[in-house]
Amino acid sequence: MFELTPFERRNHVVSYNPFRELEELQRSFFGNQMTAAFQTDIRDTGDAYLLETDLPGFQKEDIHLELEDNYLTIRAQRNTDTEQKDKHGNYLRRERSYGAFQRSFDVSAVKADEIKAEYHDGVLKLTLPKKNEEHKNTARQIDIQ
């Protein structure tokens, strides 16, 4: 899983999410056949992260963004049914396709309420402004008495 946090966190306490473990088990058992992942480019622009992903053939209504427990999930799903018939109503060609894609990102280092998304020409672009948190060094030396 790619984290948008540029540095490893010093706090190794992670919130427990039993559903995340269930998803990992499902992926390991089924080989992630349930949904496919898509390629994503992530750039650090200094004050924000720019996330771009190609989703050709999808309509804006097919794409869903969800933010929960500091994880941004991108889902895209489409169903198509194409058929061509001759003048007697017999099929010359009939095709069906289905595609479902999903990917999640840790967004704990961004301002969740300021995330912006746009979709044009098969490319989903998200702007994720960084939190302006000062990283205080909380480590200290303890003298032994």
b (16+ CB within 10 A) / e for 54-86: ebeebeeebbeeeeeeeebebebebeeeeeeee
* AA letter at 56: P
> Of 36, 145, 13, 23, whose CA–CA distance to 98 is shortest?
36
pTM above 0.85, yes or no: no
Q: pLDDT tens across 71-121, in order?
A: 999 999 888 778 888 888 887 777 777 778 899 999 999 999 999 999 999
pLDDT (0 to 100) of residue 90:
83
Largest Cα–Cα distance in the chain?
Answer: 96
Angle at 69 between CA 66 and CA 74, to 5 degrees: 25
CATH number for 37-129: choose from 3.20.20.70, 2.60.40.790, 2.40.160.20, 3.30.420.40: 2.60.40.790
Nearest alpha carbon to residue 73 among 113, 104, 37, 97: 104
pLDDT of the residue at 66? 95
Please report, for the chain, the start and end positions of each structural domain, with discontinuous segments joined by +. Answer: 37-129
Q: What is the mean pLDDT of residues 3-19?
A: 56
Digit-coded pLDDT (tens) for 42-73: 999 999 999 999 998 889 999 999 999 999 99
- Which residue, 52, 61, 104, 65, is CA-closest to 79? 61
